[in-house]
C-alpha cells in the first residue's frame, strides 16, 4: 500500500475518534517535522515546539482535511506557516528590542553576514581539520541560515525533504519555474560559501 493511502486511512480513523491512529501518524512524521523545522529555525528547542504545534494543528483541524492534496503537502504547509510566523515574531521582537550590543559598538549585522561566517582557509589551516572538528557543519548551518527565506525554504523542501518540484509548488503556491530558479540560486550561494572547504 502506498504511503499516501496509509495516510488517508489513518486520517479517516482519526476523524472517527481513533487516538491510536493519531499516534501512528505522529510516529510516521515526527522526525521529518522536527528536522524540517530545525533547518528553518536553527534552534532545536524552538524546532521541537513548532513541530509539536504542527501536530496539534493537524489534530484540531483534521476535519477540514478533504484529501484533495496529500496529507504530506497539507502538513508541510502547516509547518511552513508556523515557521514563517516564528520568523515574523522574532523579526519584530529583534526590531523593537533595545539592542545593547549596538550601544557597545558591536556590529551585529556585520557579524551575521555569510562572508564573515566563513573562516579564512589560509589562517584556519587544513580544510580536513575543519571538517573533523565540526567547523564545517557550523559553516554549512550558517550558509543555509544566510539564504533568503524563499530560497532556503525551497532548498530544504527539495534537498532534505526530497520532495518533487510539483509537490513544493503545492506547498508554497509558487510556479514550478520559479521554484527551479530559487533552487538554482540557493545552490549557487551554498556552493560559493563552501568553495574553499570542499572535500
**Total residues contacting other proteins (rule CB under 8 A)?**
37
Residue with cell 565540526: 134
Q: Do residues 174 and 167 touch, judged by C-beta distance below 8 A?
A: no
How far apart (Å, rounded) are the C-alpha atoms in residues 74 and 80? 10
Q: Candidates 10-18, 73-81, 107-115, 189-197 — which segment interacts with other proteins by CB under 8 A?
A: 189-197
Residue with cell 478533504: 66
Is residue 164 part of the contact set for other proteins (CB under 8 A)? yes
> Which residues in 100-119 contact other proteins (CB under 8 A)?
none
With 0-12 / 13-18 / 19 or more C-beta atoms within 10 angstroms meaning exposed / middle / buried, residue 104 is: exposed
Nearer of residues 92 and 185 to other proteins, judged by Cβ = 185
Q: Candidates 3-11, 101-109, 110-118, 139-147 — which segment interacts with other proteins by CB under 8 A?
A: 139-147
Least CB distance to other proteins at residue 82 (A): 14
How far apart (Å, rounded) are the C-alpha atoms in residues 113 and 109? 7
Q: Candidates 44-52, 67-75, 96-104, 109-117 — which segment interacts with other proteins by CB under 8 A?
A: 44-52
Q: Do residues 158 and 130 touch, judged by C-beta distance below 8 A?
A: no
Residue with cell 566563513: 118
Point out which residues bind other proteins (CB under 8 A).
23, 26-27, 30-31, 34-35, 38-39, 48, 51-53, 55-56, 59-60, 136-137, 140-141, 144, 158-160, 164-165, 180, 183-184, 186-187, 190-191, 194, 198-199
Amino acid at each position: 500500500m502506498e504511503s499516501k493511502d496509509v495516510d488517508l486511512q489513518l486520517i479517516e480513523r482519526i476523524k472517527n475518534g481513533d487516538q491510536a491512529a493519531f499516534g501512528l501518524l505522529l510516529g510516521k512524521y515526527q522526525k521529518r517535522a522536527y528536522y524540517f523545522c530545525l533547518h528553518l529555525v536553527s534552534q532545536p528547542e524552538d524546532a521541537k515546539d513548532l513541530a509539536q504545534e504542527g501536530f496539534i494543528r493537524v489534530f484540531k483541524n483534521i476535519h477540514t482535511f478533504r484529501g484533495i492534496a496529500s496529507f504530506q503537502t497539507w502538513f508541510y504547509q502547516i509547518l511552513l506557516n508556523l515557521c514563517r510566523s516564528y520568523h515574523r515574531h522574532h523579526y519584530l521582537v529583534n526590531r523593537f528590542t533595545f539592542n545593547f550590543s549596538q550601544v557597545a559598538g558591536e556590529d551585529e549585522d556585520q557579524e551575521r553576514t555569510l562572508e564573515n561566517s566563513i573562516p579564512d582557509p589560509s589562517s584556519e589551516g587544513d580544510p580536513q581539520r575543519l571538517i573533523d572538528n565540526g567547523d564545517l557543519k557550523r559553516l554549512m548551518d550558517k550558509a543555509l541560515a544566510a539564504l533568503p527565506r524563499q530560497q532556503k525554504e525551497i532548498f530544504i523542501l527539495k534537498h532534505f525533504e526530497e520532495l518533487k518540484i510539483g509537490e513544493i509548488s503545492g506547498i508554497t503556491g509558487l510556479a514550478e519555474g520559479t521554484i527551479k530558479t530559487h533552487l538554482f540560486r540557493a545552490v549557487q550561494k551554498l556552493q560559493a560559501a563552501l568553495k574553499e572547504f570542499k572535500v
